[in-house]
Amino acid sequence: MLTARQIEILRSENELLQLQLDDVNMMIKVREEELDLLRKRAAEAAAMQSQLDTNLLEFEQMQNNLGFSQQKNNGTEQRLEQMEEELYASIKDQLKSEKKIKDFESLEANLLDTTSELEAAADAYKKLREMKSKLAATQSDLEIAYMEITSLKEELQEVNALNEMLRKK
């Protein structure tokens, strides 16, 4: 049998669990927004990489065309200088591409971390729901016990009243 204090404690714990559930739901919402942002950034990085590759191909084609014209007009020495410039630009573009790849990998790692956190939050939310369900079952049992106690008290009063009547006779 639970006392009024125990019932109050259970109600207080229920309110605390509800607050914690609200916090977990808020955290899940924030993580989902972060995931959306990271996905958008990953898509933007992929689009930028694609555009960079296209620009690089166009640039290389233009440099090749320019080099061919210069070679015809200026000879082999100028072609060598142009090839050095192409190589320099290619190295520079490669370094930019590597930086973008590193940024993308960092975003991907953040996405994985956020996903792990979201899964942990979902597990905590599941446990919280289970605890809330158990608490509701306990409250139901408590109410049933209280009704039984009330019924027994009434029966006891009736028995006492009958005993009292029998003693008077």
169/158 Cα distance (integer angstroms): 17
HSE on the CB side for 3, CA within 13 Å? 2
Q: What is the pLDDT of residue 16?
A: 92
129/20 Cα distance (integer angstroms): 11
Residues near 63 by Cβ (< 8 Å), separated by ≥ 6? 82, 85, 86, 89
pTM across the whole model: 0.35
* DSSP code at position 153: H
Residue 15 has pLDDT above 90, yes or no: yes
| Range 35-44 contact pairs with CB under 8 angstroms and sequence separation of 24 or more | 35/111, 35/114, 35/115, 35/118, 38/107, 38/110, 38/111, 38/114, 39/111, 41/107, 42/104, 42/107, 42/108, 42/111
Residue 101 — left, alpha, or beta (φ > 0 → left; ψ -120 to 50 → alpha)? alpha
pLDDT digits (tens, 9 = 90+) for 74-130: 666 766 787 899 989 888 988 898 998 898 889 888 888 888 988 988 888 899 899
- Grouping H, G, I as helix, E, B as strand and the rest as coil, residue 152 is helix
Residue 137 has pLDDT above 80, yes or no: yes
Q: What is the pLDDT of residue 22?
A: 93
Q: Where are the domains of the chain?
A: 4-124
